[in-house]
Chain A
């Protein structure tokens, strides 16, 4: 360890960045490809289908896949492929935005609690524990019922349920880093608390938080679909995947593809986020990191 060759600084840095990409494992790659494909499909939906997601067509009710409609039509004659593509916009937006919000708020609160300790820690984490004690779906349901089912409110409700998870992981991370020698060295150098916390400790705990956020995005997508399924999602003409499953459920015996197509879409997205999260966790795992 002591006498290793020292490459010049710049290439080493670039290699470190490339290294992370190269260290990504197969499951992360599969997850990334699926998510990127879905994002592109959502963005370029108008180019991928000629139909509108909400235009009804009485003449083509419940038509099977093929026959001009790639995945068939629902009971109002709306094109399912188009509804899936446009629905991806809502699932992705809600899933990602809710978790980003939860990540920012939760991580911040958790870091403060872990760094200050004492009474602040007790109060903050007790509140988090109370939130965590509710099942995410029930809590989301109650919140949406309370504040109304608009896009913003659904994001807020899901973010609320995910916040404690981030607070916990950030707090644990900060508490282990806080007593490390480098943090002590910072204090000895007379750096202020916020500077030590946000400049020096935060970068150390962010990888873990990132892994967590990817796993929680899967949960957020599922929660959103579940809310829509029980009728607390965005109002009907809006094509949401959960809503499509619910509508397909009414005709499940005659035309099962109505529920199957959005179910597969949900499955794919949840699976992709989980794959990314699991893969990243393996890469970020400190036990593997020191192996080189």
Chain B
């Protein structure tokens, strides 16, 4: 193995005597990419820290052998490691938002890395910085150089991070979940860029991720870790075609399947007479819909100038109309900032509404009337993204489930206790653990508690705001199954807000695609995914990673540069009425002018 860029033998990492990585061995050849796959707690990030020599001092200890450039990294002094870090090995982190210093110009931060490791200065240095920015395709680098990170979008910041990592032509790049915090379309761009640059420089890449779709896109070799042990290691084709371990198979299955197929292009439909979305066609089922939203508008004022006057409005949600039938699940998909979460919040009065009408079970909600508000609160419940954050850390889970019943007077005393135990059982938890605090449960169990708490109110509609997005793949499936099971048994409807297409595919009957505060397409899930009508839907779907490495090259993401429009509009701006066209019996798409 003389051509290996890095070679790891029997790496063991322990924290305060407790071993968390149990004997890991791998090689990455020059120009090769190894994907290290695992869920939280699998030890994948710890491995990368061990290679970088960044384990917490005095607590973390690594043994074994990490051969890099003819030396064993574990035997090097901190001073020697400093020279290697950032120079010969560099790292790209998950959070581009926090990995850049907010009070330093982007150009200066990039220049610092180059100066430190390449010793350039003056005009030479600036030229090197510009070259790096051009390499990662930052538009107008001469201007961007002097700007601060907050003026950069998430994708651009991650590209700057990549530029920093590549600045000194490292022979190994460690990318720790580099695209997890990015939208799919941005992720597709970033992955493409990484691949191009890797080919150009011949660097080896250790790609740490939990997403098998990303693995299928980029990896040559795959190493699956669980609880600090290697459970599968092989070439990417072999692992995807015939996984040996059932856990690997689970991970592969969790990738979105419908979206894996190449979306069929369809001709744009003719606008319907009148152009408006027909109300009757919005809901799938018969009978009165549980939720009806008509022309909902949410705007946030933008203050500016010396006196802090309102200079414009962020049009977070613009003329959104939708409805959900009893026992139905409507998915709301879109990228960050598309307004999908805001719709859910506006419905339950966590965000202001500037217009529109909301009806729950046929009754119009008057948000200024206490009785009407209270009625809405009983019928509509919400589950949040972060189950730990949405539970009171000091309240036992039993009392968290009991409290809404007691507050709203739905049950009292022994009856409430009984109902609480019943709810815990319903969501798959042992009622004997009602006295435990939230931190004693795992992430998936906490989300079950949140579901039980929402169900305590016997709601007709549950708004699930990215409810499974933060969960590990294997747990995500269980929570989705639980939600589907509860829906069948209790007849509750869901508004499922998510950016995660695999989850949407599994649980949603219909899906609405959001783009800059507006719905651009709405229809039955399989139809929208297989035959998207709107150009944005097509772009969104094309960016979703492939499900098998064999599909590489079969689907090219439709790439566009940065934001085409701004959601910030001047005061008094009225958006033109939407023109809708029909694609199927209840599949509608916006016709662009």
Residues of A within 8 A of B (CB): 1-4, 6-10, 12-13, 16, 180-182, 184-192, 195, 200, 203-204
B421 within 8 Å of A (CB atoms): no
Q: Once the chains bind, are A181 and B394 in contact (CB under 8 Å)?
A: no
Q: Give chain B nearest CB distance to A5 CB in angstroms.
A: 10
Query: Which residues of chain B have C-beta atoms less than 8 A from A195's C-beta?
Result: 407
Closest 8 CB pairs of A and B: A190-B377, A181-B389, A9-B435, A185-B390, A9-B436, A188-B382, A181-B390, A2-B442
Q: Are B392 and A200 in contact (CB under 8 A)?
A: yes
Q: Given A2-B39, A2-B40, decide whether A191 and B350 contact each other with a Cβ distance below 8 A.
A: no
Contact present for B392 and A189 (CB under 8 Å): no
* Min C-beta distance of B188 to chain A, whole Å: 29
Tell whether, in the assembled complex, residue A2 and residue B374 are in contact, meaning their CB atoms are under 8 Å apart: no
- In the complex, what residue of chain A is closest to B394 when comparing beta carbons? A203
Answer whether A185 and B384 are a contact pair too, CB < 8 Å, given A2-B40, A195-B407.
Answer: yes
A187 touches B378 (CB 8 A): no
Interfacial chain A residues near B437, Cβ < 8 Å: 12-13, 16
Q: Nearest A residue to B396 by beta-carbon distance? A: A9
- Looking at B39, B385, B436, which has the most chain A CB atoms within 10 Å of its CB? B436
Interface centre among A9, A10, A200 (most CB of B within 10 A): A9
- In the complex, B509 has a CB within 8 A of chain A: no
Confirm or deny: B43 has a beta carbon within 8 angstroms of a beta carbon on chain A.
no
Q: Which residue of B lies closest to A2 (CB)?
A: B442
The answer to whether A190 and B378 have CB atoms under 8 Å apart is yes
Is B371 an interface residue when CB atoms closer than 8 A count as contact?
no
Within 8 A of A (CB), among B440-472: 440-444, 450, 453, 457, 472
The reply to whether B443 and A1 form a contact with Cβ atoms under 8 Å apart is: yes
Interface size of B as a range: 35 or more
Chain A contacts for B391, CB-based, 8 A: 182, 185
Which B residue sits closest to A202, measured CB to CB? B394
User: How long is the Cα–Cα vector from A118 to B338 in the complex, in angstroms?
Assistant: 29
Chain B residues with CB below 8 A from A9, complex form: 396, 432-436, 440
Choose one: A8, A182, A188; the contact of B348 (CB below 8 Å): A188
Q: Known contacts A9-B435, A185-B391; decide if A2 and B444 are in contact (CB<8 Å).
A: yes
Please tell me if B386 contacts chain A, counting CB pairs below 8 Å. yes
In whole angstroms, what is the CA distance A7 to B430 when docked?
13
Alpha-carbon distance between A16 and B436 when the two chains are bound, in angstroms: 11
Binary A-proximity of B372-390 (CB < 8 A = 1, otherwise 0) = 0110011001101110011
Contact indicator B40/A181 (Cβ below 8 Å): no
A182 with B390: CB separation less than 8 A: yes
A1, B41: Cβ atoms closer than 8 Å: yes
Q: Which residues of A contact B382 (CB under 8 A)?
A: 185, 188
Q: For residue A185, which residue of chain B has the nearest CB?
A: B390
Instruction: Kindly list chain B residues whose C-beta atoms are within 8 Å of the C-beta of A192.
Output: 407
Given contacts A4-B442, A12-B436, contact A190 B374 (CB under 8 A): yes
Q: Is the CB of B433 within 8 A of A6?
A: yes
Neighbour of B350 across the interface among A2, A182, A187, A200, CB < 8 A: A187
> Given A190-B374, A200-B395, do A184 and B40 touch, yes or no (CB 8 Å)?
no
Across the interface, do B389 and A6 meet the contact criterion of CB distance under 8 Å?
no
Nearest chain B CB to A118 CB, angstrom units: 14
Contacts of B453 in A (CB 8 A): 185, 189
Contact of A190 among B39, B407, B441, B475 (CB under 8 A): B407
Residue of B nearest to A203 (CB): B394
Say how far A219's CB is from chain B's closest CB, in angstroms. 29
Whether B435 contacts A181 by the Cβ 8 Å rule is no
Partner of A1, one of B373, B442, B457: B442
In the assembled complex, which residues on chain B have CB atoms less than 8 Å from the CB atom of A13?
435, 437
A3 to B39, CA, bound (A): 11
**Contact bitstring B382-419, A, C-beta under 8 A = 1, else 0:** 10111001111111100000011001100000000000
Query: How far in angstroms is the closest Cβ of chain B from A27?
Result: 22
Q: Is the CB of A190 within 8 A of B394?
A: no
A–B Cβ pairs within 8 angstroms, 26 of them = A1-B41, A1-B443, A2-B41, A2-B444, A3-B227, A6-B436, A8-B432, A9-B396, A180-B389, A182-B389, A182-B392, A182-B393, A184-B350, A185-B391, A185-B453, A186-B392, A187-B349, A188-B377, A188-B381, A189-B403, A189-B404, A189-B407, A190-B374, A190-B377, A190-B378, A203-B394
Alpha-carbon distance A106/B365, docked complex (angstroms): 39
For B443, what are the chain A residues with a Cβ–Cβ distance below 8 Å? 1-2
Q: Distance (Å) between the CB of B237 and the closest chain A CB?
A: 30
Q: In the complex where A1-B442, A181-B389, A182-B392 touch, is A189 in contact with B381 (Cβ < 8 A)?
A: yes
CA–CA, A13 and B437, complex, Å:
8
Among B373, B392, B443, the most chain A Cβ lie within 10 Å of the Cβ of B392
Q: Residue on A with the closest CB to B404?
A: A189
Cα A282 to Cα B189 with chains together (Å): 45
Q: Measured between C-beta atoms, what is the minimum distance from A12 to chain B in Å? A: 6
Q: B395 near A6 (CB under 8 angstroms)?
A: no
Closest Cβ–Cβ distance, residue B504 to chain A (whole Å): 22
Residues of B within 8 A of A2 (CB): 39-41, 442-444, 472, 475
Asked if B384 contacts A184 (CB within 8 A), the reply is yes
Give every chain A residue within 8 A of B434 (Cβ-Cβ).
9
**Interface membership of chain B positions 126-160, coded 1 if the CB is closer than 8 angstroms to chain A and 0 otherwise:** 00000000000000000000000000000000000
